Structure 1
């Protein structure tokens, strides 16, 4: 569409030729309109910065001769997979069906005018009184809070301008409204509006709404049904006759009152409409609608949302314009979907054996009860069932109905939805070009189109998957740490925050590598302290996360303690950036959108990319995250894959969210598992089993490849795992700490020999440093670690042998006159009494080194929330 002001054409498009006013006078601005325009410009000059700016705004508006305000209605759009095979169609019948004005009941036209634009047939495209009122309110608020839009302006907004609430758009809209009003009959403008107005639940226009809510043609609507529809457009969710019928009824009463005041209906007609009760059939029609097979998959739903968003941001369309084009504009959408991969994902998501065995169902039960006197009551209830059996469903319904005070003669129209729990989401993409190959937004029956998509819309806590992204990626990338760098795992407090490990003890000096594969919280928080919260946060933004806020700048950040959570799609893209040697690619679901003339409307074939971390940083992270699968917390994710796997597990401290983000040399995939209403569950490996099951199928026929290892700026060096220094011969004799080889940046490689391993005399009974009281047979020479040069503490000494073993003095009988001094024994005349045995004084012994004790921990994560 040509929006250039330089266009000299004075003819309208062919589709508009028969829609112009048949006027004998010239289509020009009358004296009255000149006054109106002058007033409008003068009023907005108060808000703007001068007449010159306003003139520039008006000149930048679209040329009225190039604007086509007639809705596009009758062209089917097509959706294709990555190979150009048709997978779905989008038709105007889904959300909009065009109706001529003479097909639309007069009372529906009048209801819309009464609530939307009472002076529609009197003004010249703009409502001067409404503008004055809005300007006062906007000046008081300092921003646009009221627009005073007329029906003419709404038609222009829906078909020619963006929906941005800015003064620039508002001035252009009012300027064009004056010209459109001079070119088109009022009835035709109203017809266009009635066919484009948003009416909730994916419907645009009164004909589609009549079928969606009442199951009838728009021409058959009664007065009461008409005001139900007219009341939706101002706030489609709040005034939904399905979800919020009470709100809609209140709005309907307002509209009926306006219609009486404006002379469209009598008071008697208003009273009759209030008694009609149009809601009695809505739930029944909705139930039939939702029981229809879902037309679109989660993948196609996601494509639709992305295309509509891109049409707004890249083409300046309104949401209504984008919807109209997609559903009825005859466009062709070429997606990145791989049908074979999608089938694997769908099959595995339907496999109950891959999910926790304690299956539950969330039941959503809605009903419209019609009383004997004709009044209706709308009820809704939610609960949890232990099975999907008809008996349990009926028991739930009866229990709820018992609280609803049903009486004899009442009728009920009901709708039941069952959503299995635990739920899951899965997304897989090609890390090298950003193409999303398959995704699933949930398991179980999909109710309707464009429903909640857990893969692209669910924001859940990422847990320890953020350790790599917020802690170690920036720490390595900024040169603060290396894979072999030592961080001490110990009790630790920073500010008022005291993180805890998921194990019940502390390991002491630990390498970054082990901190990753063993998912150690203290190390991750210490790494963020080194990097700085601001830097860590900025790295996350660079990794593509859009759901973070300044409130997330806390030291719990690397443990996934964030305010709103992240989506599986964005988390997957972040890990794909590591898999792609540090280059982030914005995930895309389609490559091109062509209009019905085969011209490129949107080109997404060259994705948005930028560098997040150095290639060597990404390579080191991959190398360390391979250990997560080989020896760490994510071992089950590699089952069945004859392919290298790198990734990171994430589990919240309350066991409500289980996540794994991982990749192979081919693809990056992320799985989330949990309950829709967050609650803990104990199967901590189900999500890993699901990930492995899907990925092993996808990789089954792919040649085995290795990750490319880029070591630029790094050297591999052997170190003592206890000290992080150059190992000595004594280090080799330590049974508790091994000598390991790891990568170091040049300024991190150790230059000093280990000085904490020493030889000590150890008591084999207590395992502590021997004292002089320990029997010789229990004392052995062993290598132990000495964490400081200070003297050994008393608690490091053997506490089993505490004094010399001496014979006890025999207890003698008490005899009269005993002992007899200076008299020899009768039996042994030469013997003299034995003096008491004296025990020598104890002297403190100061051994050189205590030994360390590292008992095994327990499996499970503890991740505090911010």
Structure 2
């Protein structure tokens, strides 16, 4: 996306070409799992895809010229016009079926074409706005003819080295063609059409005015907060016309294009993206170092827009509002805003309304855990680990809020991050039976920018000292000091390159946080902020035998805009996914995480005969409490805290509800149990593939020494480390099933279709 040439409006400076400057127990392997896709296979698949597209473009162009068919392409392109704000009929979002047949689906959202769309002419756009987009998205825009073969080869080289797709090669012209004229499917046919049309657009339509491509592109894209088109975005975020934008403001708008729905509600994240765009402009020669520093120092707007969802073109019942918003974002990413806004689409989503209603009622209903407005907030997300299909999502107490705590809320996960350290240990051959010593610890940590290492002091919750214990027991009892020994490796029985190894596992599993170039070893205690969806996605990959499947809200898309219905997309029943950790290691991790529920501090999450794996988490000073757990059919992550931050959970709730001294092993696990008993009622009890679990292996907890009277702060962070969770205490029975109730016989209140949003119209 774009960056500018100089500070201020820059009306007198034309957009220009830049001047470049320089031994664990064996586990049973399942028989019904897909084969692991090798890294080499993924690399060759990428090579073949790119080579196929390039060759197909050349062959198709040559044949078309020879047969005169290219004339038809030219004529067709010349007849194309930039998309207009057409009179549209809605796009409907439907739930998963409530019963037999498609007619049992319910409408959870209606997308209208009446968005806040305002455009600007090329003459009104300051040069630095155009340059910002070029610097961020297409450095060779003014050198290529619509398709950048050098860019394709560069992206291919980068992807081969990374072993994954990390850099795209689409030009601005190609992106405009995709948004304006084509679908967003990933077929080679579509990519060939996109390339041919892009070349012809630049050769004919934009022959004498290539920057017109940028203008048309900026007038068709979505900037978040219900702003479609660059003029609408300029007014929404800065309350000014496009021609009055400063360099920093232009960079802000271009940065939003990275993830408009998320950054449009995240001022801090938008600021970080702005700075990335500005630095890219400097690197590509579009601004001097002085201009860069001035732009970086420019403040972001004090108030960031918070457009109500009802104004965003999406209407629907409040119960499913957060989910519908995410589905709209996924739909726009797949097909482009113009296609979605033109309507005529039936979108079959993955949400299970009974599960969704159960989730919201468990959390915020009159008989739920936290019904009062001044209670802490909760976020919940459930998904199928094999397909990635999101079944339920509660993103905010206020259903009309556009801030989705599941996707946008980033908080410290505490001990729920420890399974990633466990997997790193298994990958390095460390046996879970390896002995460590629990107690007060002191380490010397190298800190970038400091000449001398700093002391890092760590102790357990309430200063508990457990003495000698195994790594698996440390997981079950959430012992901080054993895991810091694991990452620091003072006795030679821990991890090599501990912080990097843990972060590598987390990223492979799906955690998208920015850990920085020099992560602190405290990352093992969950000090890096993450989203509930990221954590649920990561645990789902573990549950799925180490195979990560991207979370999705959409199962099928049908277009009825023409004379006949057309299936635009249908999700595979068994997505291939990506094998990100070894299958046996994933099964072993699940086995050990079952112990956290059967033998450790998360017994409140037990579902009786139904096997449960999971982990609790509590952040420093009790600002956040978590439980992420799974059964073979479903993963559910729950976060508890205050959405605005800054308020501890420790003394917020009164003693009558037995929630003081709150930790992840208490309330989130109990809420998880109540919700899962409801949603899994009537579902078969399944065992985890490849996992063998026997009896009570831990017996009694390790001996605990008396807690010291004082808590020593961390010399690095200046605060106590995140607490490890104490044993669960009895919880109120008014909102949960009796502890002795077995899930097979538990019969929660049944939700009927009548309790779901009303149907209208029938899905196609």
Distance 2:196 2:386 in 1: 45
Counterparts of residues 435-834 of structure 1 (less than 5 Å): 435-447=389-401, 451-470=402-421, 472-482=422-432, 484-496=433-445, 497-528=456-487, 529=489, 530-532=494-496, 533=498, 534-551=500-517, 553-562=519-528, 565-596=529-560, 598-605=565-572, 606-638=574-606, 643-678=610-645, 679-682=647-650, 683=659, 684=662, 685-708=666-689, 710=691
Contact 1:57 1:172 in 2 (8 A): no
Distance 1:587 1:137 in 2: 29
TM-score by length of 2: 0.56
Offset, 1:500? 1.7
Structure label with greater radius of gyration: 1
Distance 2:626 2:688 in 1: 23
Q: Deviations over 1:241-289 (max 9, x none)?
A: x99xxxxxxxxxxxxxxxxxxxxxxxxxxxxxxxxxxxxxxx9x98996
Aligned-partner SS, 1:687: helix
Q: Which of 342, 347, 355 lines up with 1:333 in the alignment?
A: 347
Contact 1:137 1:145 in 2 (8 A): no
Contact 2:466 2:704 in 1 (8 A): no
Counterpart in 1 of 2:386?
432
Higher relative contact order (CA 8 A, sep 6+): 2
Cα distance change of structure 1 residues 173 and 57 upon mapping to structure 2, 3 Å threshold: farther
Counterpart in 2 of 1:324?
338
Counterparts of residues 234-273 of structure 1 (less than 5 Å): none
Q: Which of 125, 128, 140 lines up with 1:116 in the alignment?
A: 125
Contact 1:463 1:863 in 2 (8 A): no
Distance 2:630 2:309 in 1: 42
Cα distance change of structure 1 residues 556 and 90 upon mapping to structure 2, 3 Å threshold: same
Counterpart in 2 of 1:790?
none
Offset, 1:455? 1.0
Contact 1:341 1:698 in 2 (8 A): yes
Counterpart in 1 of 2:96?
82
Distance 2:310 2:242 in 1: 19
Counterpart in 2 of 1:306?
330
Cα distance change of structure 1 residues 552 and 462 upon mapping to structure 2, 3 Å threshold: farther
Q: Deviations over 1:330-375 (max 9, x none)?
A: 2332322212111111222322654458852xxxxxxxxxxxxxxx
Distance 1:138 1:568 in 2: 34
Cα distance change of structure 1 residues 429 and 113 upon mapping to structure 2, 3 Å threshold: closer
Distance 2:242 2:110 in 1: 24
Counterpart in 1 of 2:177?
160
Cα distance change of structure 1 residues 485 and 339 upon mapping to structure 2, 3 Å threshold: same
Counterpart in 1 of 2:300?
none
Offset, 1:491? 3.2
Offset, 1:422? 1.8
Q: Deviations over 1:612-633 (max 9, x none)?
A: 4444433333333233223432
Cα distance change of structure 1 residues 635 and 209 upon mapping to structure 2, 3 Å threshold: same
Contact 2:133 2:254 in 1 (8 A): no
Contact 1:455 1:568 in 2 (8 A): yes
Contact 2:542 2:589 in 1 (8 A): yes
Aligned-partner SS, 1:425: strand
Q: 1:69 aligned to 2:81?
A: yes
Contact 1:619 1:710 in 2 (8 A): yes
Aligned length: 521
Cα distance change of structure 1 residues 94 and 694 upon mapping to structure 2, 3 Å threshold: farther
Offset, 1:568? 0.9
Offset, 1:464? 0.3
Q: Deviations over 1:769-798 (max 9, x none)?
A: xxxxxxxxxxxxxxxxxxxxxxxxxxxxxx
Cα distance change of structure 1 residues 171 and 541 upon mapping to structure 2, 3 Å threshold: same
Counterpart in 2 of 1:863?
721
Counterparts of residues 48-63 of structure 1 (less than 5 Å): none
Counterpart in 1 of 2:364?
350
Contact 1:575 1:661 in 2 (8 A): yes
Aligned alpha-carbon RMSD (Å): 5.6
Contact 2:557 2:570 in 1 (8 A): yes
Distance 2:423 2:310 in 1: 52
Distance 2:698 2:611 in 1: 28
Cα distance change of structure 1 residues 190 and 304 upon mapping to structure 2, 3 Å threshold: closer
Q: 1:423 aligned to 2:447?
A: no
Counterparts of residues 17-416 of structure 1 (less than 5 Å): 64-67=74-77, 68-71=80-83, 73=86, 74-83=88-97, 84=102, 85-95=105-115, 112=121, 115-116=124-125, 144=139, 159-160=176-177, 176-177=201-202, 179-180=204-205, 196=220, 201-204=225-228, 297-311=321-335, 322-351=336-365, 354-355=368-369, 359-360=373-374
Contact 2:458 2:720 in 1 (8 A): no
Offset, 1:45? 12
Q: Deviations over 1:726-752 (max 9, x none)?
A: xxxxxxxxxx999xxxxxxxxxxxxxx
